[in-house]
Amino acid sequence: MRGPGGFLWVYGMPLLLGLVGCVGLAAALFADGAWDWVSWVALGGMTGVAVGYAVWGGR
């Protein structure tokens, strides 16, 4: 299931990024203090992955 063409191979990273995004968004909307840092790291990490993929083309 983890090999090329398997479910986790294809959908693993998008699912992880979606989960991290939901955690970051919830932390930004519903909490203050240290949770603000959690939201910044989570949403900034997603942005960093997207920019890295755009710059280096997924190599």
At 10-50, the pLDDT tens digits run 899 899 999 999 999 999 999 899 999 999 999 999 999 99
Q: What is the DSSP code string of 17-39?
A: HHHHHHHHHHHHHH--THHHHHH
pLDDT: which is higher, 4 or 36: 36
Does the pLDDT of residue 59 top 90, yes or no?
no
- In which domain, by residue range, is 17 found? 7-56
Residue 47 belongs to some domain of the structure = yes
Structural domains counted in the chain: 1
Q: Does residue 49 belong to any structural domain of this protein?
A: yes
Within a domain: residue 1? Answer: no
Contact 9/2 with Cβ under 8 angstroms?
yes
pTM, entire model:
0.77
**CB of 17 within 8 A of CB of 46?**
yes
